[in-house]
């Protein structure tokens, strides 16, 4: 059974997993999971916000552009293989939900789907977005991370609910 938890109660585990195998961003109908390793949690405009970065070359990018909401899903460690699939295969080519055997459910507070197997999931409403601006970005970062200049779009998701799987 899932229960709602405090907005930043899972901050530490979210950062740990994000910098570890990765966590899963889900957007679109039908929903497509994509592994992310970069993002931030905090307050902007006095609202709790989850910022995620998506390169325009991802299938997820088109889904995010057509969406008003997304979820961020933290999977238990035994889902390492599925997290690998979601970070190396594209929804353009395969149905990753099927390939991973995930069960998807519509969010409690948003229209976006979340992964039932997740230990924790965030439901977010997109309130702002912008493309990284190369003119004001550190040159060393541009050279290291953007050799083909595919600068990320940054999406600001107002966190409207955080839920934990009580079995975890």
- The only residue of 10, 36, 97, 100 in contact with ligand FMN, by rule CB under 6 A: 36
Contacts of 72 (CB under 8 A, 6+ apart): 14, 23, 24, 25, 26, 36, 39, 50, 52, 121, 122, 124, 157
Q: Rule CB under 6 A: is residue 37 a binding residue for ligand FMN?
A: yes
5 is a contact residue toward ligand FMN (CB under 6 A): no
**Least spacing, CB of residue 36 vs ligand FMN, in Å:** 4
Among 34, 126, 132, 159, binds ligand FMN (CB under 6 A): 34
Length of the chain: 168
The residue count for binding ligand FMN (CB under 6 A) is 19
154 lines the binding site for ligand FMN (CB under 6 A): no
Q: How far is CA 163 from CA 4, 52, 53, 166, in A?
A: 4, 18, 22, 9
| Residue 88 binds ligand FMN (CB under 6 A) | yes
* Residue 91 interacting with ligand FMN (CB under 6 A): yes
Among positions 31, 41, 58, 126, the unique one binding ligand FMN when judged by CB under 6 A: 58
**Is residue 62 part of the contact set for ligand FMN (CB under 6 A)?**
no
End-to-end CA distance of the chain: 10
Taking the least distance from each CB to ligand FMN, the nearer of 68 and 95 is: 95
Render 81-103 in DSSP notation, one character per residue: HHHHHHHHS-TTTS-HHHHHT--
Which range, of 1-9, 64-72, 89-97, 123-131, touches ligand FMN by CB under 6 A? 89-97
CA distances from 158 to 11, 34, 42, 58, 127 (A): 15, 19, 10, 22, 6
Which parts of this chain interact with ligand FMN (CB under 6 A)?
22, 32, 34-38, 53-55, 58-60, 87-92
């Amino acid at each position: 059974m899932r229960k709602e938890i405090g907005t930043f109660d899972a901050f530490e585990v979210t950062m740990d997993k994000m910098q570890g195998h990765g966590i899963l961003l889900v957007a679109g109908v039908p929903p497509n999971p994509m592994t992310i390793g970069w993002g931030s949690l905090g307050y902007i405009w006095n609202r709790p916000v989850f910022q995620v970065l998506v390169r325009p070359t991802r299938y997820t990018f088109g889904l995010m552009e057509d969406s008003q909401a997304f979820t961020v899903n933290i999977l238990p460690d035994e889902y390492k293989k599925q997290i690998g699939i979601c970070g190396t295969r594209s929804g353009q080519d395969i149905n990753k939900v099927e390939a991973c055997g995930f069960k998807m459910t519509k969010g409690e507070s948003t229209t976006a789907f979340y992964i039932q197997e997740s230990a924790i999931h965030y439901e977010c409403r997109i309130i702002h977005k912008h493309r990284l601006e190369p003119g004001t970005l550190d040159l060393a970062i541009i050279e290291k991370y953007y050799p083909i200049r595919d600068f990320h779009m940054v999406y600001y998701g107002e966190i409207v609910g955080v839920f934990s799987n009580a079995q975890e």
